[in-house]
Chains A and B, each alone.
Chain A
């Protein structure tokens, strides 16, 4: 707001007119569907012709929290998010520190680590699904040979193991992205800081905790927000690899099933699915607020 005085009145109006198309576009593509979904979530309703819209108030939300399938998919989502984000962050940070060091062919290595990130998720999920195949999968065979797995164990068909396998794919895919974001943050730290610290006799660990981490904090915050929000709405990896069986169903996978498989159901599940969409939205919103608050990120 401080800058206002430095602009001419006509310039501010021009800026206002220029921004209007964007506001309208956001209104149509983001706020209208959001409002519609919120509205639908208060009804028992289906898209089946002749279905009478019935106002049920908060009943859909009350039912949701008594629905064992919702509760287990909520738990699965949190489990997936926690482990994938923590592992990706630690591995990504390590990778970023290595890539930040001076060595030959640094540019090439930096580009190469990005390859998993560049492959479309649907493609890499299918690829990993084959690698996990119980008969011909390269990962399965390696694990059999090492004696870690009993021969013939279906990784994606075993409770517990399936979720770990999916988290593994997500880590493989997303660590490069995390590393890249953190690397960008690392490069803003001037070398003089480290030189001064060395002269003062600070060891590597001391340099890391008193220079690298504090300067990197905003970058870490943004990275964690990006990753957590992405992980909370994970869909494609799970849907392609297991369709949500053996305890891998996440909120987004359950939501697809309500809104697409049962859209014409005479039981009126469209409103119920909308309620789930709203809950997913709220969960993601809450996580974002927690991060922004606790990491003191300024969004303006």
Chain B
């Protein structure tokens, strides 16, 4: 018995000299985690010398942030591969391995430029885009048809249709994310950009620049008008993604702004609106500055700078595998999460599983990043507070924009 134990110990030591274990964090939204386990199994089959442990994370991005903060601040070498929200690279950059020289290794020329740019901090590439996200408009095909409306191209058209149909049907018009949290910043950026406004540009605060101020004001005023006039329910000021999706999927709203993940859920057989939903780009603001805009979301893979060189090498291999075209297609087919590589959209398997992709490919290509800054959290919070105060009737659009400009300047200066 003793001999066996000794032999086993020696064997493990010999084996471990040649093999390496790395840890990777992962989300568990929808089928995400299951699919990752399958992908990791494939990877380990191709690379028998590498063992990958998957560490599931909470669903909320804020809770994940809290966990990463404790990992990184304590300087622990685990986890090696970090799944990062698109807004974190600037903040976490000092803790991440510099991947600038591996640009070609990961084949980043074939990726959406916006997703790569959002992972580049001061010219340093710190993470690789894994899957992307962008805000899109969901609408009820059956109801638009019933009342003779076209798919809205401008916010005013959406407003008219939402008000009219919701009144006649006795349901809500347009639901979106109005609770005071990160999602509100995403929605605000879409309204502001589509009206031709801008909050930050090249690291400078431009909220009250004469060039943007009027458009910013018009955008915030319009958001407020949606609620005041009943085109959106007053409850949107408490909605996050899932609250909005529940209302829409239950058949209780005409329009919804959300991320692409809601598509497959809205079309499950037990969904009351299955087959009645259409999706399109978010509407344009009014002429002359109005345009379509979608906020860039998505998740990236970075490497912990405290990992050993051998772990870093193994982590790079894993990342290269996960972001390869084949695996992006696999992920798109089984989770519905949208690839970051242009090629993956041309694959028939991707299109077959997600037939709406070709229609909104442009949305992903042109998705606009939120301000890139190491103090992004603070900037985002100021935006959330200012707009949420307007939406809940505690401030006027003018006063909120003035205080937003003042507070942002005191943060950035």
Contacts and interface: CB of A to CB of B under 8 A. Distances in A.
A47 B75 CA distance: 11
Contacts of A156: 238
A214 to B, nearest CB: 47
B234 interface: yes
A246 B252 contact: no
Contacts of A88: none
Contacts of B393: 159
B66 interface: yes
Contacts of B62: 261
A243 B385 CA distance: 11
Interface stretch (B116-124, B138-146, B336-344, B370-378): B370-378
Interface string A235-262: 0000000111110000000000100111
Interface string A117-158: 000000000000000011110000000000000001110111
A158 B392 contact: yes
B205 to A, nearest CB: 15
Contact of B233 (A47, A152, A267): A152
Interface residues of A, number: 29
A246 B94 CA distance: 35
Nearest to A47: B73
Given A50-B94, A266-B374, A243 B65 contact: no
A183 interface: no
B69 interface: yes
A119 B234 CA distance: 31
A260 B69 contact: yes
Contacts of B92: 264
B243 A260 contact: no
B240 to A, nearest CB: 10
Interface of chain A: mostly helix, strand, loop or mixed? loop
Interface residues of B, number: 36
Contacts of A152: 233-235
A265 B374 contact: yes
A270 to B, nearest CB: 9
A49 interface: yes
A48 B72 CA distance: 10
A135 B233 contact: yes
Contact of A261 (B234, B243, B381, B394): B381
Contact of B374 (A159, A260, A264): A264
A242 B233 CA distance: 18
B169 interface: no
A263 interface: yes
Contacts of A50: 94
Contacts of A47: 73
A134 B375 contact: no
Contacts of B250: 136
Nearest to A154: B235
Contact of A157 (B237, B374, B378): B237
B377 A262 contact: yes
Contacts of B261: none
Nearest to B380: A261
B79 to A, nearest CB: 17
A267 B180 contact: no
Contacts of B179: 157, 243, 245
B411 A267 contact: yes
Interface in B89-138: 91-92, 94-95
Given A48-B94, A159-B394, A154 B374 contact: no
25 contacts: A49-B94, A49-B95, A50-B94, A133-B235, A133-B238, A134-B234, A134-B238, A136-B250, A153-B235, A154-B236, A159-B392, A159-B394, A242-B180, A242-B238, A243-B179, A243-B181, A245-B179, A245-B388, A261-B377, A261-B378, A262-B375, A263-B69, A264-B73, A265-B374, A265-B377
Interface of B: 62, 65-66, 69, 72-73, 91-92, 94-95, 172, 178-181, 233-238, 243, 246-247, 250, 252, 374-375, 377-378, 381, 388, 392-394, 411
Given A133-B243, A159-B394, 15 more contacts: A48-B374, A134-B238, A135-B172, A135-B252, A152-B234, A157-B234, A242-B180, A243-B179, A243-B181, A245-B179, A246-B237, A246-B392, A264-B73, A266-B374, A267-B411
9 closest A-B pairs by beta carbon, nearest first, are A134-B235, A245-B180, A157-B237, A154-B235, A157-B238, A49-B94, A261-B377, A47-B73, A154-B238
